[in-house]
Chains A and B, each alone.
Chain A
């Protein structure tokens, strides 16, 4: 007889912070106390609050223990489960008061979220198809088989679901195009090649709820008339691949995949294809080439994959999160889906919250949520009392949303007007210490690296832009560099062959638009206002404050600091490598960084 369940978050971040050892301790403790048959341990997918991991939740109470370590995990068994006493030291401390939260329902990080895509993540054991079914899993498929392809596509169209991979193309129109396309066989593909730095929405879904994607792909196959599906997952996601493989096997055993699915006469099966580390393979035409076993290189659209995709055949390709939205839409209907979100961007969006924010992790909010709600209410604000400077969306393809737009509802269209994109959901929060020129240079370096090299503007143009950016951050910029960046950016946007190139200039153009003064400071004054660009930085000793403790001189790796004991020290600028160790070691605030 099971009286308690221990949910342990087995998302990637929690595993990295020691989830497996915590689990071992808990198993051991249960046995030691002789209650191993009364308590069930379930490893779930990501619970979202990655910076609080490893997380253990005790049911039926729902007690939420965070930052559990092998050293402090024991009392969860000996105190909570044996004696019924909550281990208050492991509870979440509310940021604004000294009180502690007992359950997720008391933590604003969770309460402001609407979990639709992540409905099962952190709730069920992703390896258990029974738990998925118990949460209405595969009911959407049952309904789909009942209502038939046309009604499925109509429902998706009416729901207003838009592609969660970044561009926000209406999913229903894509499905209809694939259904209407002549040619056979047809294919269904899931794009799980999530590559934006800092984004892990799709990984979490695949790891935490793989059946939701499988179910949606079967529905899609039935709707467009395909018998084969491919899930393309990047090789850097081994856990997602492992769990997906288990899920596929279970789904076959249960008759949700394979021949004559649920007695409908419909055959469909799914294979996994593993990417080999090229960011451009997240671009759909390149991804399809990669599945074909060729070098992943984009081709011009049209023809769109719905007309000529895998091996030239009609192919429906959607992103992981898009698929995860599908089963509940079929169960609950289009109206239900539209009940949250904005008119043109209904539903929710999952964001990977990262950067300079208190609560990092995975959050799902209705479309139209403001950046302020995301950063301050859910994210808990900026650490260290620093000022919010902007949020980077859309990864290397996106741009910056500045403080002026904190109260703007975020959806596909509003972010576009700001020169950025929704992207797949990476949301990196920047504070006053971030140099916008440097941030843009970072993303550009990424695209320069990841450009496949096929078309001139992307291959050569981004590299030229990067060199200009490097010049600027090195303090060697010239007044017409901004003009050159804009011209190059425009040509790269307008003439690149695929989305990677077309969006590569966005971070630079966006920061030029919103932070022109920062660029000017770098170019005209040779200064980095955020003190982030190494070459524009000087460290000096404020002699009035220096007590001559010699700490800095001893710390300096290049012996650039000289001075006698108890006398003010001096930094030799020619020798200084700007490593900042003197700044960090000085206890008298006597090192000036400017």
Chain B
């Protein structure tokens, strides 16, 4: 169908714009006018709550919202009249009247949408007094996220992302009028409800109302402790995003600078979660092969994404048998560091501190799961450790943003650092481990290994283009030497829900499903730098695939360090020891 064109006037000039455009879109695309917005998020939060994007339209008494109002034939739009400027300014002032003024110490001090907007609109004084009579308690119940309702301006972006993108519905508006707040079920706090800790709410929050639970002070403390052996692991998606925090172009591969910066912070060893991603592929790939060969439960569903795991435990306990028993790369890393590496180096595991840098807020929750003390159990008998000496496999989780903050605090000129390598042995990885950071990456990495193991042939082409791309759901049929393998990929839990409902009904046509909690996969995780670039995920994904293409080894089973850990320590993939150390269990949270 051909798109009809409408004739409109914007600020006195004639434009032809496609039918169906909003005033906001038309002004931006055709008149080079960026109408300010605050609550609007294209396709996700289109409610017109804030009242900032108002414009003057000839013939209307009120000021319509540019974000919601569609252009019509002959419409005459004025984006900058006195009453428009007055209305925008007053609506922002009304929000500021009740907003805390602790901007100096706010986590969002450098990138607060509200502050930017106030500055853009020339708000130099807030004429209105505070009307709220009390300060609301901060929600500290979550292991991943902190909510400060006092900084909330009720834009509803978080509510809409949680509901529409993630289909989790952990937060909604409670109370009425000037008493309304964003709240959880019975105001129990994020830690006590169905929240999966994905942090997508934080990414869209225009103020400092949502932040990660920071572990920076803990990490500084251990870095300063000479008795500790502090190692850091970095997830694949971090290296293609952390550069943004230092003004580097979007999609910069900052792997070498990141390694250098972390070493400069004082970490004793700079390792790579990509190593344990390769390990995950060995375990999960062989689990898939086993299930296919032995007629096991199919489809096999990936388990790397802790938000997805809690989502399944909460909403779909019936599908937990389908989910791979493999721990996530972060957790496998912690375990092998405190068992294999400790043993190899002759270190007391109690002295090793594992810090992970993750694009993710849910990882902070994951590391605290009671199952994730495998290394302690491994050593308990050998070293006759008491129960109260129990330690986590992973001690601290920093988001990409937190890591960048530490680097800034240490005065490290990140962008100009000479590139450095990861330390060995746990820093060695293949391209397959790298692509974990993008949606479809785990699938592709697993296919590279499964194909070769199943067929005993070398892959003719390494790139599985069918499983790449940022679409929310993808499916493909992979030809494994004549045997078709039907696979599907979902990123964003709203999309995952669709695939999983099929599995629950026993109607899934697939043998292997990859699920990532966040849109775009880990590269779009809740721990990543905040960005205003609508193409940011695309840029980061391109960088990830460039990183893969540049790797000398691109298949997990060909990583020599992986081969060595199996030879020296684990035995075979899915061996009893591997099961003991690298696999985990899930539990039904639907009644919680």
Contact = CB atoms under 8 A, between A and B. Distances in A.
Contact of B83 (A300, A459, A494): A494
B263 interface: no
A29 interface: no
Interface string A492-519: 0111110000100000000000000000
A577 interface: no
B97 A452 contact: no
A459 B39 CA distance: 15
B578 to A, nearest CB: 49
Given A295-B173, A449-B177, A452-B177, A457 B131 contact: no
Interface string A467-493: 100000000000000001001101101
Contacts of B86: 487, 490-491
Interface stretch (B44-52, B241-249, B475-483): B44-52
Contacts of B63: 494-495
B293 to A, nearest CB: 48
A23 B90 CA distance: 59
Contacts of B61: 494
A124 B52 CA distance: 54
Q: Which of B51, B87, B97, B98 has the most CB of A within 10 A?
A: B51
Interface in B77-96: 83, 86-87, 90-91, 94-95
Given A457-B51, A495-B51, A502-B62, A464 B94 contact: yes
B177 A488 contact: no
The number of chain A residues touching the other chain, given as a range, is: 20 to 34
A453 B54 contact: no
Q: Which of B65, B70, B129, B131 has the most CB of A within 10 A?
A: B131
Q: Which of B128, B153, B172, B173 has the most CB of A within 10 A?
A: B128
Nearest to A460: B94
A487 B70 CA distance: 28
Contacts of A459: 154, 177-178, 180
Contacts of A300: 47-48, 65, 68-69
B246 to A, nearest CB: 35
Contact of A278 (B48, B131, B176): B176
A454 B47 contact: yes
Contacts of B179: 453
B87 A491 contact: yes
A171 B51 CA distance: 30
B131 A494 contact: no
A467 B178 CA distance: 13
Interface in A439-472: 448-457, 459-461, 463-464, 467
A451 B91 contact: no
A448 B177 CA distance: 7
Given A487-B86, A491-B90, A494-B62, A455 B49 contact: yes
A553 to B, nearest CB: 38
A299 interface: yes
B175 interface: yes
A302 interface: yes
Contacts of B156: 454
A447 B61 CA distance: 21
Given A454-B49, A487-B86, A464 B180 contact: no
B127 interface: yes
A461 B62 CA distance: 16
A467 B129 contact: yes
Interface in B82-141: 83, 86-87, 90-91, 94-95, 97-98, 127-129, 131
Contacts of B176: 278, 449-453
A453 B51 contact: no
Contacts of A452: 176-177, 180
B423 to A, nearest CB: 52
Contacts of A456: 49-52, 91, 94-95, 153-154
Given A456-B94, A460-B98, A502-B62, A484 B127 contact: yes
Nearest to B67: A300
Interface in A287-327: 295, 297, 299-300, 302
Contacts of A457: 51, 87, 90-91, 94
Contacts of B129: 464, 467
B154 A495 contact: no
A320 B383 CA distance: 80
A216 B279 CA distance: 71
A278 B177 CA distance: 11
Nearest to B48: A300
B154 A497 contact: no
A12 to B, nearest CB: 26
Contacts of B52: 456
Contacts of A449: 176-177
A494 B68 contact: no
A468 to B, nearest CB: 9
A497 B48 contact: yes
Given A464-B94, A484-B127, A448 B87 contact: no
Given A453-B177, A494-B62, A467 B83 contact: no
B131 A463 contact: yes
A453 B152 CA distance: 13
A495 B87 contact: yes
A495 to B, nearest CB: 4
A499 to B, nearest CB: 11
Interface in A419-456: 448-456
A72 to B, nearest CB: 46
Given A451-B177, A453-B173, A494-B62, A461 B49 contact: no
A299 B47 contact: yes
Nearest to B178: A463
Nearest to B60: A494
A460 B176 CA distance: 12
A488 B128 CA distance: 10
Contacts of A453: 154, 173, 175-180
A302 B70 contact: yes
Interface in B170-227: 172-173, 175-180
A493 B62 contact: yes
Contacts of A295: 172-173
Contacts of B70: 302
B517 to A, nearest CB: 26
Nearest to A303: B70
Contacts of B127: 484
A556 B46 CA distance: 59
A494 B87 contact: yes
Given A456-B94, A494-B62, A467 B87 contact: no
Contacts of A490: 83, 86
B91 A495 contact: yes
A300 to B, nearest CB: 5
A579 B99 CA distance: 38
B175 A464 contact: no
Q: Which of A454, A460, A464, A502 has the most CB of B within 10 A?
A: A460
Interface string A62-103: 000000000000000000000000000000000000000000
Nearest to B94: A460
B179 to A, nearest CB: 7
Contacts of B95: 456, 460
Given A459-B154, A463-B131, A494-B62, A451 B178 contact: yes
B49 A497 contact: yes
B128 A495 contact: no
Contacts of A494: 54, 61-63, 83, 87
A452 B154 CA distance: 12
Nearest to B63: A494
Contacts of A299: 47-48
- Going nearest first, the 7 A-B pairs with the smallest beta carbon separation are A453-B180, A460-B94, A451-B177, A495-B51, A463-B178, A494-B63, A491-B90
Given A450-B176, A457-B94, 6 more contacts: A300-B65, A300-B69, A454-B173, A456-B52, A457-B90, A467-B129
16 contacts: A278-B176, A297-B173, A300-B65, A302-B70, A448-B178, A449-B176, A454-B49, A454-B173, A455-B49, A460-B98, A464-B131, A494-B83, A494-B87, A495-B51, A495-B87, A496-B51
